[in-house]
């Protein structure tokens, strides 16, 4: 569900006077008011764009940061090509598949794949999350350390099912799906994001249709990330799965990836 729930009110805010023009541009683009009562705010600050729940008990803001924090730590110490996600999409010696991440969210998995050398297209259908992702990619492109990684990432905003059905150009070798809710990860960070995004995203009730569209487009395989004990997505059955402590990758192979 890409539309806001009817009772969710969000406004645009600039966190410094000199950012007011930029905030107005985002507000116009996303159709957000610059004032009035709201439960949430999309804020433009010195560190970029962030989404925050308003109120005394609310958790802190969420923004996309590919330069520092958890994403940087995973890039440096996450295990490289030995990570389960790398094995799931078929990364091996001499093999760096072209990947379409059709449920991009905040782009963490796509960034991992790009940092390992894959060209990655990302699709995000929720406009607010898409804005956070776009802003994060722009800031990362200006950082010498990660600019080369995000240069391998291309963001497409819209409905993934429609975009895959009307795909132009060479088909992605691998399509990666990670329906956002219910989320397998119970870390404090993900709990905060779940609380913040659920009113905007809802549940991924169209996962079977998404899988069907992916299977029609991918040339080599489709990979679906699931909670470890969750049932497979309705429809075609995976060929095999890779299982970790909390999550699982269901793999639908079509053709062998070769160097």
Q: Does the annotation place 184 within a ligand binding site? A: no
Same domain for 57 and 82? Answer: no
Q: Does position 79 have pLDDT exceeding 80, yes or no?
A: no
Range with the poorest average pLDDT among 77-86, 158-167, 231-240: 77-86
Q: List Cβ neighbours of 224 (8 Å cut-off, separation of 6 or more).
A: 177, 178, 179, 211, 232, 233, 238, 249, 250, 251, 252
In a domain, 98, yes or no: yes
Same domain for 74 and 43? Answer: no
The predicted model gives 6-11 an average pLDDT of: 80
Same domain for 199 and 184? Answer: yes
Query: Domain ends where: 27, 44, 61?
Result: 61
Q: Does the annotation place 125 within a ligand binding site? A: yes
Same domain for 19 and 101? Answer: no
For residue 8, what pLDDT is reported? 80
Total Cβ atoms within 10 A of residue 180: 20
Domain limits for position 25? 10-61
Same domain for 36 and 121? Answer: no
Same domain for 159 and 179? Answer: yes
Same domain for 136 and 102? Answer: yes
Q: Does position 56 have pLDDT exceeding 90, yes or no?
A: no
Range with the poorest average pLDDT among 37-46, 131-140, 174-183: 174-183
Q: Are 248 and 241 within 8 A, CB to CB? A: yes
Query: Domain ends where: 45, 61, 77?
Result: 61
What's the CA gap between 96 and 114, in Å, rounded? 9
The predicted model gives 153-166 an average pLDDT of: 96
For residue 2, what pLDDT is reported? 41
Q: Does position 205 have pLDDT exceeding 70, yes or no?
A: no
The predicted model gives 115-127 an average pLDDT of: 96
* Residue 54 burial class via C-beta count within 10 angstroms: exposed 0-12, middle 13-18, buried 19 and up: middle
Q: How does DSSP classify residue 250?
A: E
For residue 186, what pLDDT is reported? 54
Q: Does the annotation place 204 within a ligand binding site? A: no
Q: Does the annotation place 228 within a ligand binding site? A: no
Q: How far apart are the first and last CA of the chain?
A: 38
Q: Does the annotation place 109 within a ligand binding site? A: yes
Beta strands in 63-110 (DSSP E): 99-101
Over pLDDT 90: what percentage of the chain?
74
Query: Domain ends where: 36, 61, 86?
Result: 61
Same domain for 52 and 118? Answer: no
Same domain for 32 and 140? Answer: no
Residue (of 2, 19, 24, 9) closest to 55 by Cα position: 9
Same domain for 54 and 153? Answer: no
Same domain for 75 and 47? Answer: no
For residue 60, what pLDDT is reported? 87
Same domain for 226 and 127? Answer: yes
């Amino acid at each position: 569900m890409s539309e806001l729930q009817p009772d969710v009110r969000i406004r645009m805010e600039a966190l410094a006077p000199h950012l007011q023009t930029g905030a107005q541009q985002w507000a116009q683009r996303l159709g957000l008011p610059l004032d009035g009562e709201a439960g949430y705010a999309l804020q433009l600050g010195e560190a970029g764009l962030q989404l925050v729940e308003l109120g005394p008990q609310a958790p802190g803001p969420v923004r996309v940061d590919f330069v520092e924090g958890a994403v940087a730590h995973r890039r440096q110490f996450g295990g490289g090509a030995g990570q389960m996600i790398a094995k799931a999409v078929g990364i091996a010696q001499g093999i760096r598949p072209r990947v379409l991440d059709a449920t991009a969210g905040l782009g963490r998995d796509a960034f991992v794949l790009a940092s390992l050398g894959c060209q990655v297209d990302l699709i995000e259908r929720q406009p607010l999350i898409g804005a956070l992702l776009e802003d994060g990619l722009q800031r990362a492109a200006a950082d010498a350390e990660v600019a080369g990684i995000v240069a391998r990432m291309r963001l497409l905003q819209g409905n993934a099912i429609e975009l895959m059905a009307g795909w132009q150009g060479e088909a992605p070798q691998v399509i990666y799906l990670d329906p956002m809710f219910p989320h397998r990860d119970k870390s404090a960070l993900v709990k905060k994001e779940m609380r913040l995004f659920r009113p905007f995203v809802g549940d991924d009730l169209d996962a079977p249709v998404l899988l069907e569209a992916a299977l029609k487009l991918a040339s080599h395989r489709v990979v679906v990330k699931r909670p470890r004990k969750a049932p497979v997505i309705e429809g075609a059955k995976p060929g095999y799965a890779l299982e970790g402590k909390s999550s699982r990758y269901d793999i639908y192979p079509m053709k062998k990836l070769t160097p």
